[in-house]
């Protein structure tokens, strides 16, 4: 009797079999919950954008939230942390974490400024050297973590201190002003392009780079063999190893990608501000992790999307901008951001529990 009932249940149509609605209210609720988890950052971004328009201060009838300068500020601030968050997505999906990215950003800005101003390197060569340095910094952390079997949290926390110390040493613990020209102590004029804006002054160069990095990251993660290996390693490291995947290699490459994106953000930061600050990027690691989590990537590894991360970064940047426009206390801004992160993590935890039952 039990066998017959099991066979009948197995043959019953489901939403996954034929696209029809789930047979039970519980199944429908589960699908609705999964939809919420999958698109939480996109849904949240839409709500925040509407909130920005509704609650924005006005000046001479103009909605300040929609002004060209304000939109440019949002995109610029989001671009730097968003680029880092794309690299962080790879690391977290593979089951790791990288706390050094903010300090690597500061180090990269200082290094690119020194290369051009003090050592007379051209723009292209200076950028390439800094990108390679960021990549190698990530590789070093990956090697230490995986071959010495030290938790990534500890290794990258040490990496944060190392990168920040190097940045302060190279800069002499002071800002490096970047002026352009052909004279001594000047950077090539071509580097100033990084501070330009397009489309009516709304879209900075960093936004175009952010979009490009997002597209490349999404393609790598979703369509390549390496991307499949990243998901496999994060989902079940032991099973991935038994299936022939070089787990150490995959994890090291994810750290390299993260270091590369942090270095790229540092270059953009220096180009847009026209100075290099050794303390730039402080706290960016937490913002990047928040964008990844809000975007639907599981902190336990094995799940996530770059598109979700991009939406998460935009959500955080837009929300902070709305609070600033309304003169909300900076401490309250931190509380609001922390609340959103906790809610996103709680949804991930609930989804994990539902799958395991």
pLDDT of residue 186: 92
Provide CB contacts within 8 A for 183, sequence distance 6+. Answer: none
pLDDT tens, position by position, 80-104: 999 999 999 999 999 999 999 999 9
Give 347-355's long-range contacts (Cβ < 8 A, gap of 24+).
Answer: 347/36, 347/37, 347/40, 348/37, 348/293, 348/296, 348/298, 348/299, 350/33, 351/33, 351/34, 351/37, 352/298, 352/300, 354/30, 354/33
pLDDT tens, position by position, 298-326: 888 999 999 999 999 999 999 888 888 88
pLDDT of residue 327: 86
Q: Where are the domains of the chain?
A: 29-51+64-356
CA-CA distance, 56 to 106, in Å (whole number)? Answer: 32
pLDDT tens, position by position, 204-228: 888 899 999 999 999 999 999 999 9
User: pLDDT category, 3, cuts 50, 70, 90?
Assistant: very low
User: pLDDT category, 50, cuts 50, 70, 90?
Assistant: confident
CA-CA distance, 20 to 132, in Å (whole number)? Answer: 51
pLDDT of residue 160: 98
User: pLDDT category, 155, cuts 50, 70, 90?
Assistant: very high
pLDDT of residue 239: 97
Task: Tell me what the pLDDT averaged over the chain comes to.
Answer: 86
User: pLDDT category, 2, cuts 50, 70, 90?
Assistant: very low
As beta bridge partners, residue 187 has 180
Q: Which of 37-51, 110-124, 320-334 has the lowest mean pLDDT?
A: 37-51
Please state which of the four CATH numbers 1.10.357, 1.25.40, 1.10.3470, 3.40.50 is assigned to the domain occupying 29-51+64-356: 1.10.3470
Best mean pLDDT range from 109-113, 196-200, 337-341: 109-113
pLDDT of residue 98: 98
Q: Retrieve residue 204's tokens.
A: 């900075």
As beta bridge partners, residue 203 has 198
> Over pLDDT 90: what percentage of the chain?
58
Q: Is pLDDT of 156 > 80? A: yes
pLDDT of residue 17: 44
**What is the SS3 assignment for 248?**
helix
pLDDT tens, position by position, 171-185: 999 999 999 988 888
Q: Which of 26-30, 93-97, 187-191, 229-233 has the lowest mean pLDDT?
A: 26-30
Please state the rounded mean pLDDT for residues 39-55. 79
Q: Which of 105-109, 202-206, 240-244 has the lowest mean pLDDT?
A: 202-206
Please state the rounded mean pLDDT for residues 252-266. 98
> What is the DSSP code string of 116-166?
HHTS---HHHHHHHHHHHHHHHHHHHHHHHHHTT--HHHHHHHHHHHHHHH
């Amino acid at each position: 009797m039990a066998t017959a009932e099991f066979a009948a249940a197995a043959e019953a149509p489901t939403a996954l079999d034929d696209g029809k609605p789930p047979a039970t209210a519980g199944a429908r609720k589960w699908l609705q919950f999964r939809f919420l988890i999958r698109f939480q950052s996109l849904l949240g971004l839409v709500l925040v954008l509407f909130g920005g328009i509704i609650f924005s201060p006005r000046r001479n009838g103009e909605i300040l939230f929609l002004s060209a300068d304000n939109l440019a500020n949002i995109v610029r601030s989001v671009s730097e942390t968003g680029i880092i968050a794309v690299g962080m997505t790879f690391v977290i999906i593979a089951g790791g974490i990288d706390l050094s990215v903010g300090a690597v950003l500061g180090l990269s800005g200082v290094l690119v400024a020194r290369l051009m101003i003090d050592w007379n390197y051209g723009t292209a060569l200076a950028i390439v050297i800094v990108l390679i340095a960021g990549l190698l910094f990530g590789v070093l952390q990956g090697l230490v973590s995986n071959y010495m079997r030290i938790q990534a949290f500890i290794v990258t926390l040490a990496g944060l201190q190392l990168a920040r110390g190097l940045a302060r040493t190279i800069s002499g613990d002071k800002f490096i002003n970047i002026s352009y020209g052909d004279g001594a102590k000047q950077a090539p004029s071509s580097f100033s392009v990084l501070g330009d804006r397009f489309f009516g002054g709304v879209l900075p160069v960093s936004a175009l780079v952010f979009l490009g990095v997002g597209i490349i990251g999404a393609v790598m993660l979703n369509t390549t063999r390496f991307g499949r290996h990243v998901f496999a390693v994060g989902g079940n490291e032991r099973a991935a190893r038994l299936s022939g995947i070089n787990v150490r290699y995959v994890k090291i490459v994810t750290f390299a990608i993260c270091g590369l994106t942090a270095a790229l953000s540092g270059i953009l930061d220096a180009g847009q501000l026209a100075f290099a600050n050794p303390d730039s990027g402080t706290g960016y690691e937490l913002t990047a992790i928040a964008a990844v989590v809000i975007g639907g990537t599981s902190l336990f590894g094995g799940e996530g999307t770059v598109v979700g991360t991009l939406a998460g970064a935009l959500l955080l940047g837009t929300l902070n901008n709305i609070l600033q426009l309304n003169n909300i206390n900076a401490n309250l801004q931190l509380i609001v951001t922390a609340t959103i992160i906790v809610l996103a993590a709680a949804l991930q935890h609930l989804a994990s529990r539902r799958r395991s039952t």
